[in-house]
Structure 1
Amino acid sequence: MNVTDLQTELILYAKSIGVDKIGFTTASPFIELKNRLRRQQELGYQSGFEEPDIEKRTEPLQLLEQAESIIAIALAYPSKMKDAPLGKKGERRGIFCRASWGVDYHVAVRERLQLIEAWLRERVPDVKIKSMVDTGELSDRAVAERAGVGWSAKNCSIITPEFGSYVYLGELITNVPFAPDQPMEDECGECRLCIDVCPTGAIVEGGQLNAQRCIAFLTQTKGFLPDEFRGKIGNRLYGCDTCQTVCPKNKGKANWIHEEFTPDPELAKPLLEPLLTISNKEFKAKFGHVSGSWRGKKPIQRNAILALAHFKEQQAVPELLEVMKKDERPVIRGTAAWALGKIGGQGVREALLAAKEREQDMEVLVEIDKGLALLTEIE
């Protein structure tokens, strides 16, 4: 079979296994990306979660000898939730970002890539392949952009005309010389809504993100959240969708396509208080299949405490007092102390002062003092 026919058949096969978009590009180096990544590194804008070796991120031949082309795929995920529960006084809820609704996308995208891999191996005896999704060396967005899947938007997402930016991306490097697709024209135009409404000013300019200020990144950190961001994360437990939800190109893109990505409303918008005392076993059983669980329960619990403070949820005070008193983890104890100062209420000052007497951890003591100072402002 010649390469043109193989490519045509592969596109049809990809659609049949639930791939919403497929594109092809060469395996030549990503020169512009290399320069951009070096600049990001110099400015200290990286998250630390990405592959540190810029050469590996931008030179496909370093990842696969004889690489000729890269296949990029995209799967659309929902932007809207049916029957979303409403939080109310006494029953406050947090929210996971849309990319963490339904089954973990790493699993879903990897399954499709493995099927494509098997399909190619059947038809090309000496085929060489390396596939990856999100945690691989290559930049998913740079590959998708060059393969014509969508354009690279000001909010640092890939926007597709059909599904907006609500797409999961993956790619497969191969030694098969597929014909490359044309990159898409940038359609952001003069719009800068995503830059203007970013809660922390993380989008420095169109296409440039300071990951250290991005709420999506901050919700995944395990230490104390810096003070300046505590009032900004609202009730977000994992991730942030603001720069997507305000985007005009996402208007009307519900994307109820794949059953596996349909959110369970009670998991996507869970009650906050039960999260404070959830065990590791319970957390894994309940949230283990969603991508937002990858850092474990600690960041989620810390964010749940901050969300209760955001709501000034008086009913959570007894639970927070218990957490401050008994939790073994300094970050959780300290965040609870800060939250109690933010919420206030009967007996809180006495409890904070008592905690100050018994606490041994210096960082927690700092948070207790912050809580007492906040309490003074309320009173």
Structure 2
Amino acid sequence: MTGAQLKEELIAYSKSIGIDKIGFAAADVFAELKERLKEQQNHGYQSGFEEKDIEKRTNPQLLLEGANTIISIALAYPSRMKDAPQSTREARRGIFCRASWGVDYHHILREKLRLLEAFIAEKAPHARSVSMVDTGELSDRAVAERAGIGWSGKNCATITPEFGSYVYLGEMLTTVYLPPDTPITDQCGDCNICVEACPTGALVQGGQLDSNKCIAFLTQTKDFLPDQYREKIGNRLYGCDTCQTVCPKNKGKDFHLHPEMEPDPEIAKPLLKPLLKMSNREFKEKFGHVSGSWRGKKPIQRNAIIALAHFKDTSAVGDLAQLMKEDQRPVIRGTAAWALGKIGSEAAENELISAKEQENDGNVSAEINKGLQMIQNQGIH
């Protein structure tokens, strides 16, 4: 069987197992990406979650000796939630980004790639293949761009003509030669909407992201959030979709092709106050199957506290005060103190004053003082 014949069979098989788009690229060094990554590193724009070794990220031969082809796959996910619950004054809600709706996409894509690997092994028994999704060394976007899946948008997402940027990406390195596809040319043109709409200015310029300012990254950190970003997070519990939702190429794009990707509204848009008292076990039972749970309960709880402050939810004062006085984690105690100052009621002020006397952690004490200062500035006594 020739490479061209195997490619045609692979394309047909990929459709039969629910892969929405498949592309093929040569396993050459990503020279342009290498220079971009070095620039990112020099500017300190990296998040720390990515593979640190630039050689591994840009040279497929280091991951699979004798690699000839990289297969890129894309699965479209929904952009709209059916029956989304409303956040009301009595019951405030947070939101998980669209990439954390439904079952963790890593599992879904790995299974598709496993099936593709088995198909190739059956057709070409001597082939060696290795697959990765998101957490692998290769850049999913660089591979997808070379394989003709889409172009790298100014919002740093892969934008496909069919599904917009609402796609999950995965790739497979294989020693089999399969004829490469033609990359899609950049179609962003003069549009700069995403760069201008980014809440924190994390999109330094089209196609360049300072990860340390990106809300999607910030929501996943476990420490105190810098003050200037607390105001920007709003009610986001995990991730940020702003640079996708404002993109003209995403207008009208909403695909419900995979039942396992459909969001449970009570998980994708959960009530905030119950999150504050949730045990590790309860958190895993409710959120463990979504990608947004990978960093554990702490960042989600911290973000829920910030969201309640964003809403100035006076009904949460008692719960926040309890966290500030009793929680073992300084980040949670301190963020709760800041939130009480932001909410700014007389009850919140009294709780802060009483907590100030018993707090021994310097960082938490600083947050209590910050909260009291906010209330003083608001003139609440």
Output the TM-score relative to the length of structure 1. Answer: 0.99
Q: Which residue is 1:231 aligned to? A: 231
Query: Aligned equivalents of 1:37 and 1:378: distance in 2?
Result: 45
Q: CA shift at 1:125, angstroms?
A: 1.0
Query: Aligned equivalents of 1:28 and 1:295: distance in 2?
Result: 34
Query: Aligned equivalents of 1:195 and 1:339: distance in 2?
Result: 29
Larger deviation: 356-365 or 330-339? 356-365
Query: Aligned equivalents of 1:152 and 1:351: distance in 2?
Result: 49
Secondary structure of the equivalent of 1:332?
Answer: helix
Structure-to-structure mapping, 1:286-305, within 5 angstroms: 286-305=286-305
Query: Aligned equivalents of 1:168 and 1:249: distance in 2?
Result: 16
Query: Aligned equivalents of 1:354 and 1:316: distance in 2?
Result: 17
Q: CA shift at 1:219, angstroms?
A: 0.2
Q: Which residue is 2:376 aligned to? A: 376
On the 8 A contact 2:317/2:347 being kept in 1, the answer is no
Secondary structure of the equivalent of 1:75?
Answer: strand
Q: Which residue is 1:362 aligned to? A: 362
Amino acid at match of 2:193: L
Q: CA shift at 1:40, angstroms?
A: 0.2
Secondary structure of the equivalent of 1:170?
Answer: strand
Query: Aligned equivalents of 2:347 and 2:6: distance in 1?
Result: 72
Q: Which residue is 1:102 aligned to? A: 102
Q: Which residue is 2:85 aligned to? A: 85
Amino acid at match of 1:87: S
Secondary structure of the equivalent of 1:231?
Answer: helix
On the 8 A contact 2:23/2:73 being kept in 1, the answer is yes
Query: Aligned equivalents of 2:346 and 2:325: distance in 1?
Result: 17
Query: Aligned equivalents of 1:271 and 1:125: distance in 2?
Result: 52
Query: Aligned equivalents of 1:348 and 1:166: distance in 2?
Result: 41
Q: CA shift at 1:347, angstroms?
A: 2.4
Larger deviation: 42-51 or 346-355? 346-355
Secondary structure of the equivalent of 1:271?
Answer: coil
Q: Which residue is 2:76 aligned to? A: 76
Q: CA shift at 1:376, angstroms?
A: 0.7
Amino acid at match of 1:40: Q
Amino acid at match of 1:145: E
Structure-to-structure mapping, 1:1-379, within 5 angstroms: 1-379=1-379
Amino acid at match of 1:191: C
Query: Aligned equivalents of 2:74 and 2:321: distance in 1?
Result: 46
Secondary structure of the equivalent of 2:233?
Answer: coil
Query: Aligned equivalents of 1:351 and 1:298: distance in 2?
Result: 23
Could you list the structure 1 runs, at least 4 aligned residues long, displaced by more than 4 angstroms after superposition. Answer: none
Give aligned pairs, total.
379
Residue identity (%): 66
Deviation track 1:143-192 (CA, whole Å, cap 9, x = no partner) reads 00000000110000000011000000000001111100000011111100
Query: Aligned equivalents of 1:117 and 1:363: distance in 2?
Result: 51
Q: CA shift at 1:346, angstroms?
A: 2.8
Q: CA shift at 1:65, angstroms?
A: 0.5
Structure 2: stretches of 5+ with no match in the other structure: none
Amino acid at match of 2:290: V
Query: Aligned equivalents of 2:266 and 2:153: distance in 1?
Result: 32
Secondary structure of the equivalent of 1:347?
Answer: helix
Amino acid at match of 2:230: R
What is the aligned-residue RMSD (CA, Å)? Answer: 0.6
Amino acid at match of 1:250: N
Query: Aligned equivalents of 2:358 and 2:345: distance in 1?
Result: 21
Deviation track 1:5-31 (CA, whole Å, cap 9, x = no partner) reads 111000000011110000000000000
Query: Aligned equivalents of 2:184 and 2:93: distance in 1?
Result: 39
Deviation track 1:344-370 (CA, whole Å, cap 9, x = no partner) reads 213222221211111111110110111
Query: Aligned equivalents of 1:179 and 1:304: distance in 2?
Result: 49
Deviation track 1:94-114 (CA, whole Å, cap 9, x = no partner) reads 000000000000000000000
Amino acid at match of 2:192: R
Structure 1: stretches of 5+ with no match in the other structure: none
Amino acid at match of 1:109: L
